[in-house]
Amino acid sequence: MAISPDLSKIAVAYRGRPVLIWDLIEDSSQEPKRCIRDKDWERLRTKPQGDVFCAPEIVCWQPNGISLFILYQDNTIVHWYLAEEGSQTEYENTEAREMATSDDGTLLLTSSNTGTLSVWTVSNFNLIYRLYCGPFVRDLTLSPDNQRIYDVRGSICNVWEPDALVRLEEGDQEEGSSLFGGSDVSEPTFSRGTQDTPITTSVAYDCLADYYVCGRDDGTIWLHEMKEGEKIKKLWSHSVMSDVIVLEWSPSRRFLVSADDAGKVILKALGKKDGKWIVFNVFDFRIRELVRQALFSPDERISCSSLAGFKTR
């Protein structure tokens, strides 16, 4: 179910039936419009209440409220023009499983079963950007300025800012280039996602805000310089199968504690010698419960909280 941006119409999609469009302003006794694909017309002409061949999956309205995109089960996307009765444009073999339109109605974003993202122009349905990255995308959208893509994969929200969309915003849209109505087609940009690289799962910074540390989903902990974000040193590692979910720096910047999602807690002492960072082991232990937070007192005693209570060292 999807309501048009101007709140004047509602589209309802369900399996085995064509998409129905009700006008919320006109008399409620009016029959809804039926969005029927060309291949289903003949079948429904002879059997008006019969099932359609391909079930509609997703409906996305254009901002103008007079057209909408419908994604069908066979990966075909249909652009329906309500102002022109029965007018439709079909785009086959899109491999789309999820779909979203941009706020200004110029771009269409789709994702495939394998997690591949594709950005298309609405005017000519030209592919301008494709990102190969798994796993499956649960939801997706474009930023209001069309420069970033947001998607949810598993429990992680990713933000992609491809150069192709930045250039599109800075040049193509301002100049009214061929991407938005001309006959020439710009070459699409292809890239591969970086989800194979470690993802930051926790962050902490020192009391002077000169440095910060990042814990990652490969168990590593990295020290960065605050001003430019430059990576300085890998401090230590948990298990490669563990996410570092807690990091805390002591008030004096002498100690740093980390905890992972397997209950392992590590405390290290940090220092500098000849301009280089050095790390000393203080202790490490494992608890049965998941550590949710670690705090240092002014005298640098440490408390770790879990669902079961506190442990102080």
Reply yes or no on whether the pLDDT at 207 is more than 90. no
Span 155-165, pLDDT tens digits: 788 889 888 88
DSSP annotation of 62: -
Amino acid at 276: K
The answer to whether 40 touches 22, Cβ cutoff 8 Å, is: no
- In the chain, the amino acid numbered 131 is L
In this predicted structure, the answer to whether residue 20 has a pLDDT above a threshold of 60 is yes
Q: Which two tokens stand for residue 162?
A: 């491809």
CATH (residue range 2-192):
2.130.10.10
10 Å Cβ neighbour count for 154? Answer: 10
What is the per-residue pLDDT for 61? 95
Question: How far are the Cα atoms of 161, 210, 211, 231 from residue 227, in angstroms, in the given order?
Answer: 22, 7, 8, 11
210 or 195, which is more confident: 210
Domain residue limits, the chain: 2-192, 200-312
Mean of the pLDDT values across residues 40-44? 71
Residue 183: pLDDT band (50, 70, 90) is very low
CA distance 27 to 80: 23
pLDDT of residue 13: 85
What is the topology classification, in CATH, of domain 200-312? Methylamine Dehydrogenase; Chain H (2.130.10)
The pLDDT mean for the chain works out to: 85
User: Which of 59-73, 74-88, 287-301 is the most confident on average?
Assistant: 59-73
Say what the pLDDT of residue 50 is: 56
The Cα–Cα gap between 108 and 101 comes to 5
- pLDDT (0 to 100) of residue 141: 97
Domains 2-192 and 200-312 share a fold: yes
Long-range contacts of 298-305 (CB under 8 A, 24+ apart): 298/251, 300/250, 300/251, 300/252, 300/254, 300/255, 302/248, 302/250, 302/255, 302/257, 302/267, 304/246, 304/257, 304/259, 304/265
Q: What percent of the chain has pLDDT over 70?
A: 85
Q: What is the pLDDT of residues 217-260, one digit of tens each?
A: 889 999 999 988 889 999 999 998 899 999 999 998 899 999 99
Residue 46: band (very low, low, confident or very high) from pLDDT cuts 50, 70, 90: low
Position 258: which residue type? S
Indicate whether 43 pLDDT > 90.
no
12-26, 139-153, 223-237, range with the lowest pLDDT: 12-26
Going by pLDDT thresholds of 50, 70 and 90, the confidence category of residue 41 is confident
- Give the type of residue at 62: Q
Q: Which pLDDT score is estimated for 3?
A: 94
| b/e sequence 117-142, b meaning 16+ C-beta within 10 Å | bbbbbbeeebbbbbbebeeebeebbb
